[in-house]
Structure 1
């Protein structure tokens, strides 16, 4: 007879294998987009630092980097809100357990980006629009970083 510990262990193992091998078409775009946009945020922050290397020791999270970069720039551009929504979607991917909630967060990121930057090549496909949203936000923040570097 199987005890409760053994049943729980088998359930955890099954959940791990199910989640690990689950096809997640949006995961790679979310993770890569989050990482690459975070690098641009760090460029903006570093542009205001006398000792930029020290900034990396601070171990700020993505949300704090968005807010600090926004405070440094003082510009009211849609990319800040878009980056916040991207972070919410990425956090849902990393910590959430409900795929429908993840899709809602992705759709929210796409919607706010599409609202702020209507000139993208938007379509009806979620995957395509996620890729466009990441590209558009990265480009907008890259312009901010470049302007800061020239200043």
Structure 2
């Protein structure tokens, strides 16, 4: 079958209401496409990196807490499923899980609307993890840590990675946190 492409082009222009109407329609569609394409790739990359980084350490903990688990990759667990499997492991994982779930929500919003955005509400949710907020502020003294939403997100991801890595290796930072939590619990 031979198609007369010149005829097709002329007929499409005619059915569209003329060249001007077709150009307007195509420009409008292109503007909508470009709006979705022209996102803040730096923000998107920072959010995705933070999420993937935390997921790596969540998986590491899951395997460490359950050595007979088998091949975790074959299980194809979602991020949310992994969180639910580790969150009740200890007071530490329970405390971190609130912020980790928020990080997952931020990443999911990115997947659905293609916009790399960390809101003030997201930032406050991450800072509600009191051990993160307290350590972040103490480490920044005599200055103050950045209040930039993406910086807080990345700081939180690094904090979680460090804490979960420590839990997977019980001879490190996790033991010190556990000791301090136990000391605090004994005082109350």
> Common fold, TM-score beyond 0.5?
yes
Does residue 52 of the first structure (1) align with residue 75 of the second (2)?
no
When residues 50 and 98 of structure 1 are mapped into structure 2, their CA distance, relative to the original with a 3 A threshold, is closer
Per-residue deviation at 1:104? 4.5
When residues 93 and 8 of structure 1 are mapped into structure 2, their CA distance, relative to the original with a 3 A threshold, is farther
When residues 99 and 43 of structure 1 are mapped into structure 2, their CA distance, relative to the original with a 3 A threshold, is closer
Equivalent-residue separation in structure 2 for 1:109 and 1:30 (angstroms) = 15
Per-residue deviation at 1:135? 1.1
Q: TM-score, with normalisation over the residues of structure 2?
A: 0.62
Q: Structure 2: where are the runs of 5+ without partners?
A: 1-14, 172-188
Does residue 127 of the first structure (1) align with residue 144 of the second (2)?
no
Does residue 42 of the first structure (1) align with residue 59 of the second (2)?
yes
Does residue 76 of the first structure (1) align with residue 91 of the second (2)?
yes
Does residue 2 of the first structure (1) align with residue 16 of the second (2)?
yes
- Conserved 8 A contact 1:123-1:129: yes
Equivalent-residue separation in structure 2 for 1:63 and 1:12 (angstroms) = 36
Per-residue deviation at 1:11? 5.2
Equivalent-residue separation in structure 2 for 1:105 and 1:26 (angstroms) = 17
When residues 43 and 14 of structure 1 are mapped into structure 2, their CA distance, relative to the original with a 3 A threshold, is same
Does residue 63 of the first structure (1) align with residue 80 of the second (2)?
yes
Aligned residues: 141
Per-residue deviation at 1:25? 4.0
Does residue 27 of the first structure (1) align with residue 44 of the second (2)?
yes
Give the aligned partner of residue 110 of structure 1.
Answer: 126
Equivalent-residue separation in structure 2 for 1:62 and 1:8 (angstroms) = 41
Per-residue deviation at 1:109? 4.2
3-state secondary structure, aligned to 2:135:
coil
Query: Cα RMSD (Å) of the superposition?
Result: 2.9
Give the aligned partner of residue 104 of structure 2.
Answer: 87
Per-residue deviation at 1:10? 6.5
